Structure 1
Amino acid sequence: MSSSFLQILKTSKQLFDSFFESYTKKLFQPQTRITDACLYSLRAGGKRIRPIFVLNSFLNPEAVMRESGFHNHKPAYLAALAVECIHTYSLIHDDLPAMDNDDTRRGMPTCHIQFDEATAILAGDALNSISFYLLSLLEPTDPNAIRDSIQILHKGAGMNGMILGQMEDIEEEKNPSTSDQESRLCSIHEKKTGALIEASFLLGNRLRPDWLERESVISSYAKEIGLLFQITDDILDVEGNLEELGKTPGKDAKAGKLTYPSLYGLETAKKLRDESVTKAISLVSELPSLNNEFFLGLPKYIAERKK
């Protein structure tokens, strides 16, 4: 992994975290049990990978490294925070007893363990709502960008995106498919994991003046990154440990979930992961504005991650 890519990643996270800390002080007021639960989950570590996707789809790597604060590009940071709120809400609900019933997230007690189940449900609801409120504040120069951004996030996180993927995952766990498992697996993860990742890339891109000429390649690349992310997650659930993952490993196998290792075997899953890396890199190599260290380095970083 190149040191320049890792520096872009580190700087992007620092920029987002700086905005996050300053903005959420105003956003989550007045302080209540719900705001405490929201902030507990939002601040529970995490790589901030989806906000990083937003920022780097908007700014070129050189601009990221020159960035001294968020004031000149506030719409991109608002969109990044919207994505992080949606993602965190999904994790809170995913950990609930009715869903994955997990006690640990990012190495800390899950929201319903730290507070209680009802508070966790309401905190997730609040974060979902806040996400779309944040997009209403974008104030871009393009008058259609707010409408398009709301539609992008809804498509990625809504009833035909991430939520449908979660529903299909639950249905598959309860009534495992006996035929066309490959198609079923792809459908679940394109929606459950990939849809919000694609939305993150598209949101940042939509705020650029040249968004339309990049949109098709960004979309294809993001879909491949979503697939790569899920294959790697499935492999880590088999090979990872609690200390590195920050969540309980081996739960997929115990629950009998349909995953890439369970369907293809671990070695073939790793080959599919490596093929996905190659495909993602080839996609962005075709467009000069995307042929940069962030987009070229990201697939390898995801494939090599340990958590």
Structure 2
Amino acid sequence: MDLRVALQNKVNLIDAALDKYLPSEKSAQNIIFDAMRYSVFAGGKRLRPILMLAASEFIGGNAKDVLPFACAVEMIHTYSLIHDDLPAMDNDDYRRGKLTNHKIYGEGMGILAGDGLLNYAFELMLKATLEKNENLQKKVLAMHEIAKASGVRGMIGGQVVDLMSENKQIDEETLDFIHNNKTAALIIAPIRVGAILAEANEEELIALTEFAKNIGLSFQIMDDILDIIGDEKKLGKKVGSDIENQKSTYPSIHGLDASIKKVNELFDKSVQALAPFGEKSTFFIQLSDYLVKREY
């Protein structure tokens, strides 16, 4: 099957599930539901839930069994973007070609929409676990993976150091910490969770984790590159914000050519991690090629 068709099929499945899971009832606080839905359905690529579904299928699991967890990860990712766009953080007016959440609903409601999505993600996973409680330990382990990856030792930790590093010259070690936690952690976790829920063996989990680490870092380096030479219309957001905010990035430390070379090296490592699995890894390899070689 063509990669784009396969991706669109997964996006359709995830979007239908998100529409089903996200609250929409009319009540005193219905504005928060509108704000949450606004950003969730603002045109995301659904990369993280797609990776979770793909990891489950790689092991031989059923995509429907991991959908609540996949949707939860997308909610957590969306909450992080809402908060990232706030004036106190990156102060962005557009995301994916649309006005950011706080530009539509105000800063206070933007904060609450992010909070609502984070909390609702765990409510959704817990509900799915309680309703169908076989493999309980694996589901609890999956939730722990997601909590850790999105918390102070993962995404939030990376955001903290990123915020503290603005207007400063930082070294490569600090930049790697930011990228590996702020971005890569929430790419690694969905892949591991999909594998865990599908009952992967140790060899499979190690290989998928190695693949995920390389893809997660290369994805963020490519974002750094696109912020310099990307097309605003294709990206759906302003380019040059890293320079404007005086952020250290791979290109600013190593230069553009070296950064592109690093992306290609990480891609090669990701392919090597799954090489022992042969044709079974075809979708992941095609997806990684699509992600790390996005159009400039």
Tell me how far apart the structure 2 counterparts of residues 78 and 128 of structure 1 sit (CA, whole Å).
Answer: 14
Letter in 1 for 2:40: L
Pair 1:298-2:292 in alignment = no
Tell me how far apart the structure 2 counterparts of residues 246 and 73 of structure 1 sit (CA, whole Å).
Answer: 30
Letter in 1 for 2:264: D
Within-5 A mapping of 1:202-217:
202-217=192-207
Quick check: 1:135–1:149 contact (8 Å CA) kept in 2? no
Shift of 1:73: 4.5
Superposed CA RMSD: 2.0
- Aligned position for 2:48: 50
Pair 1:81-2:77 in alignment = no
- Given candidates 100, 103, 113, the residue that maps to 2:93 is 103
- Aligned position for 2:271: 281
- Aligned position for 2:260: 270
Letter in 2 for 1:120: G
Range with bigger deviation, 140-149 or 87-96: 140-149
- Aligned position for 2:113: 123
Pair 1:159-2:157 in alignment = no
Within-5 A mapping of 1:208-247:
208-247=198-237
Encode CA deviations 1:245-286: one digit per residue, 9 max, x unaligned: 111110001111111111111111111111111110110112
- Aligned position for 1:94: 84
Unaligned 5+ runs, structure 2: none
Shift of 1:91: 0.1
- Aligned position for 1:169: 162
Shift of 1:141: 2.8
Q: TM-score, normalised by structure 2?
A: 0.92
- Aligned position for 2:124: 134
Letter in 1 for 2:47: I
Tell me how far apart the structure 1 counterparts of residues 140 and 286 of structure 2 sit (CA, whole Å).
Answer: 31
Seen in structure 2, the aligned counterparts of structure 1 residues 206 and 28 have a Cα distance that, compared at 3 Å, is: farther
- Aligned position for 2:7: 9
Number of residue pairs matched by the alignment? 291
What secondary structure, in the 3-state scheme, does the structure 2 residue paired with 1:12 have?
helix
Quick check: 1:57–1:204 contact (8 Å CA) kept in 2? yes
Shift of 1:209: 2.5
Range with bigger deviation, 29-38 or 208-217: 208-217
Shift of 1:30: 4.0
Encode CA deviations 1:56-98: one digit per residue, 9 max, x unaligned: 111149x89xxxxxxx753311011000000000000000000
Tell me how far apart the structure 2 counterparts of residues 11 and 217 of structure 1 sit (CA, whole Å).
Answer: 26
Quick check: 1:78–1:134 contact (8 Å CA) kept in 2? yes
- Given candidates 27, 34, 37, the residue that maps to 1:36 is 34
- Aligned position for 1:68: none
Letter in 2 for 1:196: L
Letter in 1 for 2:54: N
- Aligned position for 1:259: 249
The percent of aligned pairs where both chains have the same amino acid is: 38
Tell me how far apart the structure 1 counterparts of residues 20 and 137 of structure 2 sit (CA, whole Å).
Answer: 28
Unaligned 5+ runs, structure 1: 65-71
